[in-house]
Every structure is written in C-alpha cells, then in structure tokens.
Amino acid sequence: MPVLRADLAGHELVGLEHLSEFAGHLYGLESPADRLAEVEPMRVEASDESLVLSLHLPFAEKGDIDLGSGDGELFLAVGPHRRAIVLPDSLARREIAGARFAGERLEVEFVEP
C-alpha cells in the first residue's frame, strides 16, 4: 500500500480551494479517485462453525500484537499503536477463540458463546 505524505498545513484546510491545494500536494500526479492498492484491509470468512476476521497487517509480528474485545468492538494493539474496530453484528455477539498469522494477515477466529 503506498504511503502518501504531505507537509503540515500552515492554516485551516477549510473550503474547496484550500482542500484542492492540499490534495495537489498529497496526490501529486495521481488521481485521488484511483484505487491505490489491491489489498483487502479487512474481510470476514466462514470456517466450519466459526467466523474468521482477517486483517492485513504487513509489518506486524506475533509478539507485537495484543487483542481484546468487548461491547461489540475488537481492541487491537500493534506495538504502541492501538485501534478499536467496531465489529459487524455477525461477530459482535461471538467470542474470540484464537488468533494466528497467515502471511501478512492476522486471522482472529470468533465462535458462538
């Protein structure tokens, strides 16, 4: 996945003119409407009696990951970076049964309680 970089704006990005100028610096010759990567960042797959949430985490290692869940969210920490991911209804009422890496993807298995 490409990483787009831009300098910190010296003023509020309010209005079409300022946003367009910022987009020009951010995207350069690329079109903001273009698809920049073919990777699926997240997907849910059925596996026997469970559902598996698969997350693309290309730079993570097993020891860097901390997982938890509650109130319909998956809490994911990769090193110092933390995210709360709102789970779809199909996963929110299930429990985490385990997690594993498959290539660059973290696969979190959810089962019925």
48 and 34 assigned to the same domain: no
Is residue 18 within a helix (H) or strand (E), and if so which, with residue range?
A: helix 16-27
Three-state secondary structure call for residue 3: coil
Mean residue pLDDT across the chain: 91
Is the pLDDT at 91 greater than 70? The verdict is yes
Domain count, the chain: 2
pLDDT, one tens digit per residue, over 35-83 is: 888 888 999 999 888 999 999 998 888 888 999 999 999 999 999 999 9
33 and 46 assigned to the same domain: no
Residue 70, domain extent = 42-111
47 and 33 assigned to the same domain: no
CATH of the domain at 58: 2.60.40.790
